[in-house]
Structure formats: structure tokens, C-alpha cells
Structure 1
Amino acid sequence: MLQDRHGDTALHVACQRQHLTCARCLLEGQPESDRGPPHSLDLQLQNWQGLACLHIATLQRNQPLMKLLLENGADIDVQEGTSGKTALHLAVETQERSLVQFLLQAGARVDARMLNGCTPLHLAAGRGLKSISSTLREAGADSLLRNVEDETPQDLAEDVAPQDLAEDPFALLPFDDLKISGKPLMCAD
């Protein structure tokens, strides 16, 4: 649990350097007999940049490391200390749809909010990431939630890419009440 001058523990460093085996040893290792009782690792502990180990693994796009951390008790919805982003927000920022899907399947809150009220869908829509926006909507993201600037994800998408909406004007609308043969209609990219 010792932190260096950057606030990093040994596990933070293992995540930064993407050393899965080292991280596994730190998480599963037993203390030496003359060292006293085992100390449990605080997987939510943040370094001086406000990043927990799961945030670092997500930014490194390292899904096996993310899985290991989650299996060992990392909080999937822990917010980083500067803007309140969760791992799901960071996965959206990496533009890796597979990471977004992994976190959603692992139980990440799809409508988690940053300190400014933005959800992962706000970030995806604002960056014009249509396939990730679609993935988030399919997972139940609310496209009508407003951030502190009173903007919805739809507003942000219109600001960034009106030409994309001209091609597919229904892409961001929440048509969760339309059904065909009893199944909800989903808009996809």
C-alpha cells in the first residue's frame, strides 16, 4: 500500500506498465511468514492524478488486466478524482468499443455521471462515436439526461456532427416504445 512520489502503489505501477503477471502476484500473493499479517490492497486507492488501478488499466486498453482487477474487488464505477470519470467514461474516450462492451457486460452503470453531469453517452455523442453511442443506447443509456450545461447527448451530437444526423436523423433518438413483432426497435450504425 506504500505510495511513491506520484501516489502510485506497486499495483498502480504494474497497471501502468501492463504487467499482468506482476499484478496477479500482488493481488493473490501471500505475505512472508516473518512479515506479519497480510494487508489487503485498496483497489479504489487513487494516485495523485486521481486514478485508481482500474482507470489506468482502462486507459492502457488492457482488458485482461481490467478483468483481473474486477475479479479481485475493484469497484467498476469508482470515479477518478479530477472530473469524476468512471472506467466506462474512460473506455469511451479510448474509442475502443470492445472495452465499452466489456465494462457494460461486467455491470458498469451506463448512466454514471461525471462531476459536470456528463454520462458516457454525452462523451460518445460529443465525439461523434456513432457505434459506441449505439452500444450505450442498446445497454439502456438515457439520451435525454442533461449535464450541468443543460445539454443532452443529442444536443452534443448535433453540435459536433450535423452532417451525420442528416444522413441518419434517427440515430440518437430513444425509440424505446416502437416494437416490431413484440421486440423493441433498435437504431444501429
Structure 2
Amino acid sequence: MSSDACSKDDLLEETRTDSGIDSYRSILKSEEPREPSTDFSGPRDKCSIVDERLDSAYGSSSITVESLSDMVDDFSLSSANEEQAQGSELSEKEHFLTTITDDGDTILHLAIIHEDEFIAQELIQLFPKEVLDIQNDLYQSPLHLATYLDLADIVKSLIDKGASLELQDQDGNTALHVACQHGQKECTTEMTRGVSPSKLAQVFRTQNWRGLACLHLAALNRQHQILKLLMKKGADPNIQEGTSGKTALHLAVELHDITLVKLLLSNGANVDAVMFNGCTPLHLAVGRQDAAIANLLCQFGADKMLRNMEDETALDLADGNDDILALFPFDDIQISGRSVVGVKF
């Protein structure tokens, strides 16, 4: 399929069943963002549409939770002797345990999908990091799946064992993106605890195929606690999304979420951050006739005279709203950068 064939709706709504998860859409919350994200139409080369399908092993009589347990127990008892006999090569039993299904899932993927935490924990301890980072046909790692299902203990074990935080799924989301989007606070905590600042900074900068970083997804989905945690861990509150240059503050203004606006401003968000078209948060607040947020932005020192690429100030967008016009007293009017107050005509 050519990249041009992928529409915006392809990026906003899942149309297939997740490999290994009986109903992808029933487990995940809708990925359709609120109003602010309708501008987003990120790179198309990564997206694809495939027929709805089920995991080849999930629900199969040949692989059940009980059989998974038997295989893991058998492997645990015999692995030490086999490693001595086989040297550095994988034993036949280990090779079986790391076999990939037709949908790209390892047995660890399947254990997580079945939400069998005991088996998953056993496998995490048995497998090397390389196996923990295997991605299925939807580019989901075990860490992605554990996060989707909000299995915080599994997430912790994967992180402790060295599972990569930087892997991206078919939508460009890291596991941390998933946690931010769906409000998995405990998973977010585990993925940011004890991780080096440099590694976290890389993940915080990563954009999915719609141009959204973790902070943007937290803002769009009103995940206030997660957003606060990300900024505490060093996430840049002024990072711009990749399609129109909005910061989390722009998104909060568009959502009319005054609590989120205040949270961002109190944690270092630039009140005068500009989008690619030159619009500041104040432009957006006034344009949406939101006097309360416009007033809050002014209290935090928003520059009322900044112009966008259409040469408009925020006042130009007031459209006769008296509550908003009251925020722009005449002593703010300037000509050629000089106040007109006290000037005699």
C-alpha cells in the first residue's frame, strides 16, 4: 500500500484486532484524540491497514495457560544441565520457548496476553534482554503489551531486566506513550523510576507517527498526574509536536482545561510559546472566546502584542467579546512599539 493511501482516520482509529489480544479495540481506550489533534496528519510511511485477525495461538487448544506453565516448569528444571551441555547455543527447549508465532509473538507475548503474571515473570527471568525486546507483527514488545494491559509488576520486571524503553510500535508509540495516553500511572512510574536521565530524555523527545511526544498525549487525554510526573522527571514542558508546533500548553488551551493550563504554567511552560504559524496560547484562548484562560495567561505575563503569521494580535481575535476586551486596556495599545498613553494628538 502506498503512503498516500493512508488517511488521517487510519491514524486515529484502530481497524484491526491486535496480535494476541482477542479484541484490540475492547481492551484499549479509543485513540481518537479530542478537538486539538484534528490538525495532526503525521508521516504516512509507517502506517498500514491489514485485515482483522486473531493471534494464531491465542485460544488454541494446543497452547493454554496450563501448557505454558508445564513448559516453563520443565525448562526451569532442566535448563542448568542443558546449558552446560550446549555451551552458548540455545537448547532445543529454549529454542521452542523463543519460537515466534505466525503473528510474531513469542511465548512471553502470549503469557502477558493471557495475563498470567506468574508465567510471565518466570520467562522474564529466563530470557536474555534480546528476547525481551522482540517485537511482534504490530511492532509491540512485551513491554508494550504489559502496559496496554496495565500489568505494572510485569512492567517493573521488564525494566529491571533491561527491556528497551525506546522501541516504537506500528503507530510510533513507545510503551511510555501508551501509558500516557491511557492513564497507566503505575506503569509510568515504573518506566521512569531508576532510569538514567539521558535515556529518559531520549524517550521524552520521541514522537509517534502523528508527531506527538509523551507529554502531548498526557495533555490531550487530561492525564494531569502523569503529566506532572513526566515534568518532575525532566520532560520539557515546551516540546513542540511535529505537525503544527503546538506545545502542551497550546493543547491545554484548546481543551479549555484551565487546571492543566495552570499546572503547565506553574512548571515552566512558556506562556508565549509560538506555533509554526506564530500563534501563542493567548491567540488560541482569545480565538476560542475563553476569557478565563485568557485572563490566566495574562496573569502569567503573556505578551498581548505578539503577532502571528497573519499579522494578528490576540486582540484582533476578540470578536467583540467584552470579557476578553477588558483584558486589553487602552494603555496597552502601541504604535511602532511605543505606547500611545500620554501622547497628545
TM over 0.5: yes
How many residue pairs align between the two structures? 166
On the 8 A contact 2:207/2:214 being kept in 1, the answer is: yes
1:28 corresponds to which letter in structure 2? R
1:81-135 CA-partner distances (Å, limit 9, x unpaired): 0000001101101101111111111111100000000000000000000000000
Structure 1 distance, partners of 2:324, 2:221, is: 33
- Runs (4+) of structure 1 moved beyond 6 Å? none
Aligned CA RMSD, in angstroms, stands at 2.2
Structure 1 residues 82 and 17, CA gap change in structure 2 (3 angstroms): same
| Residue 146 (structure 1) aligned with residue 311 (structure 2) | no
1:100 corresponds to which letter in structure 2? V
Greater Cα radius of gyration, structure 1 or 2: 2
Identity of aligned residues (%): 52
Equivalent position to 2:243, from 82, 95, 99? 82
Structure 1 residues 65 and 6, CA gap change in structure 2 (3 angstroms): same
| Aligned-pair CA distance for 1:151 | 0.5
On the 8 A contact 1:154/1:173 being kept in 2, the answer is: no
| Residue 137 (structure 1) aligned with residue 302 (structure 2) | no
Structure 1 distance, partners of 2:172, 2:198, is: 18
| Residue 63 (structure 1) aligned with residue 63 (structure 2) | no
**Where does structure 1 lack aligned partners over 5 or more consecutive residues?**
31-36, 177-189
**Where does structure 2 lack aligned partners over 5 or more consecutive residues?**
1-165, 333-345
| Residue 172 (structure 1) aligned with residue 328 (structure 2) | yes
Residue in 2 that maps onto 1:28: 193
On the 8 A contact 2:274/2:280 being kept in 1, the answer is: yes
Residue in 2 that maps onto 1:185: none
Structure 1 residues 112 and 168, CA gap change in structure 2 (3 angstroms): closer
* Structure of higher RCO (CA pairs closer than 8 Å, 6+ residues apart): 1
1:6 corresponds to which letter in structure 2? D
Structure 2 distance, partners of 1:131, 1:96, is: 10
On the 8 A contact 2:294/2:324 being kept in 1, the answer is: no
Equivalent position to 1:19, from 184, 187, 199? 184
Residue in 1 that maps onto 2:135: none
Structure 1 distance, partners of 2:331, 2:266, is: 22
On the 8 A contact 2:197/2:234 being kept in 1, the answer is: no
Q: TM-score, normalised by structure 2?
A: 0.46
Q: TM-score, normalised by structure 1?
A: 0.82
Structure 1 residues 40 and 174, CA gap change in structure 2 (3 angstroms): farther
